[in-house]
């Protein structure tokens, strides 16, 4: 049976969470806001605009729209500077194997990401051609935990949401998959992603038997 396998990008396919963190930390430091790795967990899967609002809330800082727009541009420019040398070596362990396995089994493969930088990242890492559909931050109006991004991806693949499987590293993303009534698979820590139907530390723990179980 053909199913839709929908992948989040940041933290699932590539380890960009560290770059998002570094770029946000610079903004936070300039504003004298204490912003830690734990706080960064709150930003995973969350849009750029909402991420800035969360950081400002953490520091009890109120800002004009003009300042916010300036910081959003600064953050993204800084983030992009970390991606300049990005190549396939940044693909997380086991991802290639799973993508190839799904291709060999003629499954639908889509991207469902909040990032507006998704396409250049897929190009730089050389995996763009694996994806039959791409839905990213440029295509949605409602951010995760709203299911819009995943529902659109399934629609583009012409596959019923009930036959879709989502790989996610963020709490917001797992909630989005759950409210779309898709199978949610957390990639990361059990303590954080406990709302997921299945949880794996990384893709090296996802084997062919498990994929076959999902397909049949």
Which listed range, 29-37, 40-48, 179-187, 191-199, lies at the site for ligand BG6 (CB under 6 A)?
A: 40-48
Burial class (CB in 10 A: 0-12, 13-18, 19+), 110: buried
Least CB distance from residue 166 to Mg ion, whole Å?
A: 11
d(CA 47, CA 50): 5
Q: In the chain, helix, strand, coil percent, each to 5?
A: 50, 15, 40
Task: Kindly tell me which of 111 and 154 has the beta carbon lying closer to ligand BG6.
Answer: 111
Which listed range, 37-45, 52-60, 69-77, 199-207, lies at the site for Mg ion (CB under 5 A)?
A: 37-45
Using CB under 5 A as the binding rule, whether residue 175 contacts Mg ion is answered as no
Using CB under 5 A as the binding rule, whether residue 136 contacts Mg ion is answered as no
Contact 186, 203 (CB under 8 A): no
Using CB under 6 A as the binding rule, whether residue 166 contacts ligand BG6 is answered as no
d(CA 110, CA 96): 14
Nearest to 135 by CA among 153, 148, 158, 119: 153
Strands lying side by side in the sheet with 198-200: 133-135, 108-112, 4-7, 164-168, 183-187, 198-200
Using CB under 6 A as the binding rule, whether residue 107 contacts ligand BG6 is answered as no
Nearest to 114 by CA among 27, 35, 172, 73: 172
Angle, helix 17-30 to helix 65-83, in steps of 10 degrees: 140
Using CB under 6 A as the binding rule, whether residue 109 contacts ligand BG6 is answered as no
Task: Kindly tell me which of 132 and 136 has the beta carbon lying closer to ligand BG6.
Answer: 136
Least CB distance from residue 1 to ligand BG6, whole Å?
A: 29
CB atoms within 10 A of CB 68: 14
Using CB under 5 A as the binding rule, whether residue 10 contacts Mg ion is answered as yes
Least CB distance from residue 137 to ligand BG6, whole Å?
A: 5
Using CB under 6 A as the binding rule, whether residue 137 contacts ligand BG6 is answered as yes
Concerning whether 87 is annotated as a catalytic residue, the answer is no
Using CB under 5 A as the binding rule, whether residue 147 contacts Mg ion is answered as no
Task: Kindly tell me which of 113 and 178 has the beta carbon lying closer to ligand BG6.
Answer: 113
Give the residue nearest to Mg ion (CB). Answer: 11
Binding interface with ligand BG6 (CB under 6 A): 9-10, 20, 43-48, 51, 76, 113-117, 137, 170
Active site residues: 8, 10
């Amino acid at each position: 049976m053909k199913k839709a396998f929908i992948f989040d990008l940041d933290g699932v396919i590539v380890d960009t969470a560290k770059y998002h963190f570094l770029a946000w930390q610079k903004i936070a430091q300039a504003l004298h806001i204490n912003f830690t790795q734990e706080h960064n967990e709150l930003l995973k899967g969350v849009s750029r605009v909402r991420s800035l609002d969360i950081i400002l809330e953490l520091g009890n800082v109120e800002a004009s729209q003009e300042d916010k727009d300036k910081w959003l541009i600064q953050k993204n420019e800084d983030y992009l500077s970390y991606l300049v040398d990005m190549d396939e070596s940044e693909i997380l362990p086991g991802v290639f194997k799973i993508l190839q396995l799904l291709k060999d089994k003629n499954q639908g493969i889509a991207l469902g990401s909040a990032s507006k930088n998704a396409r250049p990242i897929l190009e730089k890492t050389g995996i763009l051609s694996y994806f039959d559909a791409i839905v990213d931050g440029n295509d949605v109006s409602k951010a995760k935990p709203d299911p819009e991004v995943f529902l659109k991806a399934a629609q583009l693949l012409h596959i019923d949401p009930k036959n879709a499987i989502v790989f996610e590293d963020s709490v917001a993303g797992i909630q989005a998959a759950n409210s779309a009534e898709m199978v949610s698979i957390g990639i990361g820590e059990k303590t954080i992603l406990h709302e997921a139907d299945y949880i794996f530390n990384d893709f090296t723990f996802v084997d062919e038997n498990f994929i076959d179980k999902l397909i049949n």
